[in-house]
Amino acid sequence: MKIFNITHKAIPYLNNDLYQSFQVNSGVNPIIFEGIYQDNTLDNIASQNDNFCELTACYWLWKNLNDDGYIGLCHYRRYFNFFPNKLSLKPSTQKRISAVNFKKHKIATTSIEEHKKIITNDLNHMILLCPEREK
């Protein structure tokens, strides 16, 4: 299983056995984020990103990912929170996560691999926000 974090901004990336970062709008963005997937490589529709946004990543994954496992998507600087009892995500106390403290909070593949389905009644309890990099 892989979860792809789709982004067009330079943010702290989480790349491990579970999470992989994916840059969209790579064809026109003057800055290419090194070490992550790009939507303008291999079989792609990156030139249509203005119309299809992150669907250019979905198309790329469909056409180019040679994996029989499951894939998931996160959007921009948001990641699934697999530890809702440990991390408060109320808007007033929402945690800001950086690449450094992903390890601190032990966001790991084992939490997901133990379950066939992950269902929530409230999506706000599943999302962690990463801060955007300073301009």
pLDDT 10s digits, 74-127: 887 677 766 666 655 554 344 444 444 445 545 444 555 565 544 444 444 444
What integer pLDDT is reported at residue 75 of this predicted model? 80
Q: pLDDT at residue 135 above 80?
A: no
C-alpha triplet 59, 65, 66: angle, nearest 5°: 140
Separation of alpha carbons 49 and 3, rounded Å: 21
Q: 29-57 in b/e burial notation, b at 16+ Cβ within 10 A?
A: beeebeebbbbbeeebbbeebeebebbbb
| Total Cβ atoms within 10 A of residue 23 | 24
What integer pLDDT is reported at residue 123 of this predicted model? 45
List of E strands, 27-122: 37-38, 71-75, 78-80
Cβ neighbours of residue 122 closer than 8 Å, sequence gap 6 or more: none
Cβ neighbours of residue 53 closer than 8 Å, sequence gap 6 or more: 24
Nearest CA among 125, 135, 118, 121 for reference residue 87: 125
